[in-house]
Structure 1
Amino acid sequence: MAKAFASAGDMEEKKVSFTEVGEGLYAFTAEGDPNTGVIIGDESVMIVEAQATPRLARKVIECVRSVTDKPISHLVMTHYHAVRVLGASAYGAPEIIMSDVARAMVAERGQEDWDSEFERFPRLFVGHEEIPGLTWPTTTFSDGMSVYLGKRRVDIMHLGRAHTAGDAVIWVPDQEVMFTGDIVEYHSACYCGDGHFGDWEDTLAAIASFEPRSIAPGRGNALVGEEKVAEAIANTADFVASTYKPAAKVVARGGTLKEAWDAVRAECDPKFSDYAIYEHCLPFNVARAYDEAQGIDTPRVWTAARDKEMWAALQE
């Protein structure tokens, strides 16, 4: 019998931190679990990432209420993944913003992703009975848009493909702080199962060109200060390259998915094996790298059945 996914046995609740990354800007982090951003304006609050369930979203709301009683008016999703979006109903009825590509991905593969992630991460979906259904945006954008929370301007942009095809970043210019979603991680493995390895480095360079003072990454601790920001961007680029290049070499010589798995482990284990969710991400990362190296530009849809088939092939 194939062993379970690494994340299936991870049932220990994580310690929450709520870190100020700029004036009126906060990162809700939880030891490698999905992060949420908080942007407090003159009149209202914008939340970046909803969390996986209303239960987890209420933990975010509790932290928000510790610093402000302003209403939550906007909810921005950096991409479509279930662990990011399915807690949306806990926030009331805010304006929900996604890129138009992210919305299309909800339509194309949102239910399959939900079913897949539900089996991969049972702890994150405790209380899933409260989820009313897929989360749909009320507003979408193509390249970018600006939202004004009173006088505070928030820029929401698509800078390129990386973690998914529809990734958004959120830039607060008055503090020079960026919320990057899973394009940037800190001491947490990048999940590349729906990613675009060939574009990721350029998208990271586009983020770096803003010269952020601080970044709230997708997972891992808040990055306060330019030194931490540069470290995390460089480390994320190294993780992505170290995953793709060994797999691409295996594909070039006609090797198997299992051979790509072994090659990527040999490159990545010494550098990243102690990162949060590393063992969980690795099989999906290798499968996507193997596909992309074969010229498959659009990531194949992950389903609960495909998860199991891929995992079984890697255990042989």
Structure 2
Amino acid sequence: MAKAFASQGDTSEKEISFTEIGEGLFAFTAEGDPNSGVIIGDDSVMIVEAQATPRLANKVIDCVRSVTDKPITHVVMTHYHAVRVLGASAFDAQQVIMSDKARAMVVERGQEDWDSEFQRFPRLFEGHESIPGLTWPTTTFNDQMTVYLGNRKVEIKQIGRAHTAGDSVIWVPDAQCMFTGDIVEDHSACYCGDGHFEDWGGTLDAVKAYDPQSIAPGRGGALIGREAVDSAIASTRDFVESTYLPAKQVAARGGSLKDAWDAVREACDPKFKDYAIYEHCLPFNVSRAYDEARGIDTPRIWTAERDVAMWEALQD
């Protein structure tokens, strides 16, 4: 490989924030690392996103214990990616919830994704020895389901493809608060390597239609108030479109992946080069955008070997 992935050189510990975004609702964030959410009900707690390892999950648990001693009974994963799900065992929850589509993606590509992400982002997998294996849900749903934490209603829904084909959002209607997973990011690059560019904008429209007063995004800071929410939705839309359109134009004229890389950099670098994980995401984003523009609807499975081959091709 000509040089390492940007994420392989990212070894610094990130500062954790634990921000209240509604009554009994919290966003666990860490300077562009994967976020988690906390929903406190009358007698129990739901976690949104389980982190990459039990070691990281325990940092979430420590924050939860700083505000409540209620048991953690539910863990919801918005999608299948290893950095979101492999820490689930630390919570010892009664229910581990994914959409049917997300579970199918664990079956189809979960191990390959784990191997690939482990190579790309070793810092996030410190303590990986404690991961018992792939995370499997105890409960799945198609389209939507409702969970009651006592009287608190929590709606888990699929509102469209974006970051993956199996994305879910978690809506807490009493607080007009949404946990969006990686459908929405704030001052962090979107990882689009398994995404659906043509659908993403419509899914953002669906998020906005709920008129959320706060959002815990997939990465970046907690979004409190309509202005912050609208700004993050708009910047996410701009990031996705600015990545896809140049790649689509290159593909239309029969250009190469390297041509697409150059075109996307020209469009995105001036606006997004300072975003968290921008350099890490860029080669995977360009590859997926180029594929989708050439009619490949289902994202090709990333493997450790494919990662290296793609990166070497872009360096050449």
What TM-score comes out, normalization by structure 2 length?
A: 1.00
What residue in structure 1 maps to residue 277 of structure 2? 277
Rounded to whole Å, the distance in 2 between the matches of 1:188 and 1:144 is 28
For 1:228, what is the secondary structure of its paired residue?
A: helix
Q: Shift of residue 93 of structure 1?
A: 3.4
Aligned 1:251-266 pairs, distance under 5 A: 251-266=251-266
Equivalents in 1 of 2:94, 2:186: separation in Å? 29
Instruction: Please state whether the residue corresponding to 2:34 is helix, strand or coil.
Output: strand
Q: Deviations over 1:36-89 (max 9, x none)?
A: 000000010000000000000000000000000000000000000000000001
* 1:187-198 pair list within 5 angstroms: 187-198=187-198
1:107 aligns with 2:107: yes
Instruction: Give the structure 1 partner of residue 313 of structure 2.
Output: 313
1:5 aligned partner: 5
Are the equivalent residues in 1 in contact too, given 2:75–2:93 (CA < 8 A)? no
Correspondence for 1:219: 219
CA separation in 2, counterparts of 1:302 and 1:140? 24
Output one character per residue of 1:101-151: Cα deviation in whole Å (capped at 9) or x when no partner. 000000000000000000000000000000000000111111100000000
Q: State the match for 1:150 in structure 2.
A: 150
Tell me the amino acid that sits aligned with residue 47 of structure 2. Answer: I
Corresponding residue for 2:122?
122
Question: Which residue number corresponds to residue 86 of structure 1?
Answer: 86
Secondary structure in 1 matching 2:159: coil
What secondary structure sits across from 1:13 in the alignment?
coil
What does residue 20 of structure 1 align with? 20
Secondary structure at 1:101's aligned position in 2? helix
Deviation at 1:92, TM superposition (A): 1.1
Say which SS state the counterpart of residue 140 (structure 2) adopts: strand
Q: Which residue of structure 2 lines up, in the alignment, with residue 46 of structure 1?
A: 46
Q: Is the 8 A contact 2:50 2:86 kept in 1?
A: yes
Q: Distance in 1 between matches of 2:206 and 2:113?
A: 28
Instruction: Summarize the alignment of residues 175-194 of structure 1 with structure 2, pairs less than 5 Å apart.
Output: 175-194=175-194
1:250 matched residue in structure 2: 250
SS of residue in 1 equivalent to 2:64 = helix
Q: For residues 191-231 of structure 1, what are the alpha-carbon distances to aligned partners after superposition, in whole Å with 9 as ceiling and x for unaligned?
A: 00000000000000000000000000000000000000000
- 2:301 aligned with 1:301, yes or no? yes
1:58 counterpart residue number:
58
Gaps of 5+ in 1: none
Equivalent in the alignment of 2:206: 206
TM (norm. structure 1) is 1.00
Q: Equivalent residue of 2:297, what SS?
A: coil
- Cα deviation for residue 94 of structure 1 reads 2.7
* 1:154-187 Cα shifts (integer Å, max 9, x gaps): 0000000000000000000000000000000000
SS at match of 1:74: strand
2: distance between equivalents of 1:119 and 1:201?
Answer: 30
**Alignment-mate amino acid for residue 197 of structure 1:** F
| Aligned counterparts of 1:73 and 1:92: Cα–Cα separation in 2 | 8
In 2: Cα distance, 1:71 partner to 1:2 partner = 49
SS of the residue 2:27 aligns to: strand
Which runs of structure 1 show a deviation greater than 3 angstroms over 4 or more consecutive aligned residues?
none
Confirm or deny: 8 A CA contact 2:58 2:90 kept in the other structure: yes
Structure 2 spans left out of the alignment, 5+ residues = none
2: CA distance, partners of 1:54 / 1:103: 20
Q: Provide the secondary structure at the position in 2 that maps to 1:216.
A: strand
Paired with 1:223 and 1:53, the residues of 2 have a C-alpha distance of 25
